[in-house]
Amino acid sequence: MEKKKKKTAISTVFTIIVVAAVMWMKYKETKDDKQREGSVRDASVEITEPGDKKGFAESQRTAVSLSSSRFEVLEGCKLIDHRGNDGDSFHISTPKGREEVRLYYVDAPESAARTYGNGDTNHKRISQQGAAMGGLNQQQTTQVGVVAKKFVKKVLEGKTFRIATTREKVYNSHRIYAYVVVEWEGHERYLHELLVAFGLGRIHTQPMTLPDNTSSSRHKEHLRGVEKHAKAQKLGAWSIQ
């Protein structure tokens, strides 16, 4: 009888531990989702967000011209709400179907530090992103990522926009690289350039000739000037002390 009671007690304790672990995992997942969406913010990290200051001078804005026959231009694209969307990569619907696009030139910081099922983490990538954007720590870097994600969602959600792509694949992925053209302050602008202008992404990843045939080296030099202005104006990541 005593053994049966002891076995029941152990079983009960084990069940309580399992339930508590499951509840904690669900809580952590919900919290991480809220952090990535920006509904939970670290008040100790102050970031200048788009709209607080001008991102760049009019002379620095690249005029959009999708004239190159090398690119496929898709009109009337729309953002698809997806938990995998981020500042530089997101799901969209196009007249030809659904795509997941990755922006040329810019790498927006990760919006949360994560550990994956196989034990890998994104911590090294976050460290590299923070180092490239003024020497930020992990917490500061992911907060910039949250702002970048919110900004892109604000610019794209509920609107139609254009993309220009050669359908070049992102390594080990079904995603395609693309230029995304959005409406900003009454003009068409490249989304990757806006992210750099507001200090929400480092100049990194795949370069490409612009759809007006401007060389990648010339455009990258232009983006360096845009980034320099963002630093001087203390925008986005460059506003964090």
Residue 126 domain flag: yes
Residue 4 domain flag: no
The number of helices, as runs of H, and strands, as runs of E, in the chain is 5, 8
Three-state secondary structure of 95-106: CCEEEEEEECCE
Residue 28 domain flag: no
Residue 76 domain flag: yes
* Model pLDDT for residues 128-145, shown as the tens digit of each residue: 999 999 999 999 999 999
Mean pLDDT of the chain: 87
* Model pLDDT for residues 89-122, shown as the tens digit of each residue: 999 999 999 999 999 999 999 999 988 888 899 9
Q: What is the pLDDT of residue 119?
A: 83
Q: What is the pTM of this model?
A: 0.82
* Model pLDDT for residues 156-197, shown as the tens digit of each residue: 999 999 999 999 999 888 999 999 999 998 899 999 999 999
Residue 1 domain flag: no
Q: pLDDT band at 40, cuts 50/70/90?
A: very low
Rounded to whole angstroms, the Cα distance separating 111 from 77 reads: 24
* Number of domains, the chain: 1
For residue 101, give its domain range: 41-239
Residue 77 domain flag: yes
Rounded to whole angstroms, the Cα distance separating 183 from 129 reads: 27
Residue 196: CATH number of its domain: 2.40.50.90
Residue 60 domain flag: yes
